[in-house]
Structure 1
Amino acid sequence: MKNLLIRACALITTLAVAVLGAAACSGEQESTAACGTVIDTTGFAEIAKSEELIKQQLPGFLGKCGWVAYAAITGSSVGSSCQQQSLALQGGNNDNELVRKKVREELIGQAGERARGLLTCNDGSSGSDVLGGLQMIADRLDDAPDGAGGQRRIIVFSDLMNNKGINFKSCDFGEPTARSGVVDKLKSGGRIPDLGGVAVTVYGFNLLEERRPECVPPLKELWKAIFAAAGVDESNLRIL
């Protein structure tokens, strides 16, 4: 009887270690992903709900990242003075799991502060170059450290109302031919970023419903076409 109890305890211990080990491996894989955060500093930043969206949605996103880069949407996104340094979000090599967790929480807090800092940045330019902001974050993801693994992710806080290069203000993109014409023009001008294999989530687009409700359906379809041309799979795209 005693031997049976010993073997049972050993089996339980082995199973527990296996489960914990699998969970640790899963968590490690998630926390090494290279991520990008794009903040719209233009008219979107003046909307009262914009900062609240960042506070609500960014921490959960960063929890799946091991490294994060930043880009700002301004009137001149490429080369804008509105910048933030990329940040590694790993908890370090400390053997104490609680210490690693605490370090990681502090780093995620710092990452959130950097994003909110971009929201109030003003580089003096006018307009809204959303496409330029996406190009910048695509370039910065290419600079991710070699150890970054897992699927690359981007979170964008913007209403996506681009008016530089091509002005989306008319929202006249209900017909497929109109959308394909815009995409072709962007391609020929080298304005489509390379986001192949990247998961993209946009928060703030639906705030247009309050100001330009007629724009929401056609503009959403246009951006779906643009992201598809950029290499983003439909299953990896959320525009909210």
Structure 2
Amino acid sequence: MITEKVMEEMFKPRQAHWRTSITKVEPNRLTTRGRLQEDLMGNISFSEMVYLLLKGDLPSDNPKKMFEAVLVSFCDHGVTPPSTQAARLMASAGSTVNACLAGGILAFGENHAGAIEKAMKNLQEGVKLAEAYGRSASETARFMVEELKTKDQKVPGFGHRYHTEDPRARKLLKLGKEYGCSGKHVELALEIEEILGREKGIKMNIDGANASILSDLGFNWRFGCGIFAIGRLPGLLAHVNEEMSSEEPFRKITELDTV
């Protein structure tokens, strides 16, 4: 027989359990990836903390410097990106700082910020293909370019609206070689650049360079847009602050003709 007490226990609201292996929260104690947060503070850089959160361990010296260079390379591209324009327009409209930043990030899409994720996925699949079929980087690059061409698709990570040669990409590739962080993904990206450069004069852009380097650092392609957001957020904040402090509210961007 089910008693009233048993019924109460059966239908007692149960607290939902959230599980995470990232940070353990205890009274007066925070442990992230097995390390006390107060021990990390003052002893590691912000980029190392990001690496620790995403990868589960601290990077050694050269990957640390490489990852920091990647984040710096994302910092800002003036008022040209849609995300910066969106954040500044919201600031001009009187939105709060956090709303402006959110608006900027929400402006990331297939044509802006999405390219790095696409490029990472493309390169990671390409390397797996090369390894599975015993193809060289050159053969794989040719196959990938031709396949995208038949689909009338651009190769993500190559070509830029403003730069015939993206200065950030060239520096990152140089650092990757210097730090020993260039591997099969960078090799494949360079082979693709060789083909596109010869056929169309197209060079690797910042997304292609970062996609190949992050892939060689062991990041899954799904991290691509998120890592970009981490690097770009300070730039968005600077633009929002500039808009709020230096420009008239609700300012006109263009004159509109009425009919």
Q: What TM-score do the two structures reach when normalised by structure 1? A: 0.26
Instruction: Tell me which protein shows more helix as a share of its residues.
Output: 2
> For the pair shown, which has the larger CA radius of gyration, 1 or 2?
2
* TM-score computed with the length of structure 2 as normaliser: 0.25
More strand per residue:
1
